[in-house]
Homo-oligomer: A and B are copies of this chain.
């Protein structure tokens, strides 16, 4: 794959043409210009008024229609994505299925109205010394949202992916910037979205841009009210910094890196070393390791259980064939970072598959090395994991204390070990968004209780999730109504509850 670029960003308004030659397909597209960005945002802002006031049912129908549209074009979409990326047909079909499931799941959540979080405190006309007015509150959409397509999920976290679905469910117009690595797929998905019945003109837009200035111009445009991103730490942080330096800062939801530590305790390994190794060989190499929840760090305590686990894991990982990665940029980055990690002092290679791209790799080091070398804390995005050997439980605590924020942390332990390692559990829970017991972190369920997000640098805002219906909240803010007559209240707050949704009324949840 060759990338041909001829991009120049002159005064933010020249016309640029970028040709991105992917695996087999050649897709040529033009970077959007500054005047075009301005025009796109004005249209989105105009569309906001009608889009935000659609009924919950209308919004649900739009999201369902997008899912139906994607399914109707599944063969073409999968073929296009397969021509642009190295993801196989099965993975792409599965991902498209997940994307449709997400769309429908957020559609139904939006119709159920949980994201509106209505609160009603009735008036107290007889209160002394002064009466209390009727006060009600409901979540309202923020306004136009820019979504950056991710490279590793051409469907599920791109054009009609999770961020787009959440923002549309919230009532926000969406401007998607296509990821250049699958711009043709993105364009096709966008056309399906644009053809959705009931979607107001301007409520969805699709733009291209290789130049970083396109991203900057989008994030700093005055009419943009929030940003969604899944990708690298450097990319996500750049968007955050641009947004924070605006005259009016806006929220940025960057889901960035995570090494998803797994803590393996001896009692559990004594009885289940082989089973755990089998689970982890699959989890580490799933999708050539290209998941943000890939377990990149395994922390154990020296002993026979850990020995059995590491030999079984090494043996199994060595059997997993190397495989092409998403695109050459990712393959190169993996090769470089893997090489950097393996060449650190005190690191040895337990397993390394044959091949040149996406080589499954298990490395090992001592806790003392890990604690003193920040290079070993960095994410190596791909089918790679580092096993850190601790001399005892105390050293394992130290390793936990030195970890950065994570999307997930996993504890492999018996119930007895779980109970008797309270401090370790506290420390690892404090550093992650999702805590898993005796399982693998890969596989993120789309449910209300999901938290996909964690303390920095896992994300730029640990208070929100990018998976599950609470992800809709990212693009909303509360609006309070004081002393407003029933007829003029939004349906969600009307006394008779015409939408039949759950509401916190004078301290009780009622429907």
Which residues of chain A have a CB within 8 Å of any CB of chain B? Answer: 49, 112, 114, 119-121, 130, 132-133, 135-137, 140, 142-143, 240-241, 244-245, 248-249, 251, 405, 415, 418-419, 425-426, 429-430, 432-439, 443, 445, 447-451, 453, 455-457, 460-463, 465, 470, 476-485, 487-488, 502, 504, 507-509, 511
Contacts and interface: CB of A to CB of B under 8 A. Distances in A.
Contacts of A511: 509
Identical copies in the complex: 2
8 contacts: A120-B449, A121-B445, A121-B448, A132-B447, A133-B445, A241-B244, A419-B487, A437-B482
Nearest to A226: B463
B435 A484 contact: yes
A447 B470 CA distance: 23
A149 to B, nearest CB: 24
A369 to B, nearest CB: 23
Contact of A137 (B49, B140, B451, B485): B451
Given A502-B509, A507-B112, A451 B435 contact: no
Nearest to A410: B482
Contact of A478 (B419, B425, B439, B463): B463
Contacts of A483: 436-439
Contacts of A447: 121, 132, 135
Contact of A480 (B119, B130, B251, B449): B449
Q: Considering residues A130, A405, A447, A476, which has the most beta carbons from chain B within 10 angstroms of its beta carbon?
A: A447
A205 to B, nearest CB: 20
Nearest to A418: B488
Contacts of A476: 463
A462 B448 contact: no
A20 to B, nearest CB: 32
Contact of A415 (B136, B415, B487): B487
A167 to B, nearest CB: 14
Contacts of A507: 112, 114, 448
Given A132-B447, A251-B461, A435-B482, 19 more contacts: A114-B504, A120-B449, A130-B443, A135-B447, A136-B449, A244-B249, A419-B487, A429-B479, A433-B477, A434-B482, A435-B479, A435-B481, A436-B482, A437-B488, A448-B504, A449-B480, A451-B478, A451-B480, A502-B508
Given A135-B445, A449-B119, A476-B463, A439 B509 contact: no
Contacts of A443: 130
A479 B477 CA distance: 21
Contacts of A463: 251, 476-478
Contacts of A448: 119, 121, 137, 504, 507
A352 to B, nearest CB: 29
Contacts of A240: 244, 249
Contacts of A461: 251
Contacts of A455: 248, 477
A418 B478 contact: no
Nearest to A129: B94
Q: Considering residues A418, A449, A462, A509, which has the most beta carbons from chain B within 10 angstroms of its beta carbon?
A: A449
B133 A439 contact: yes
Contacts of A509: 502, 509, 511
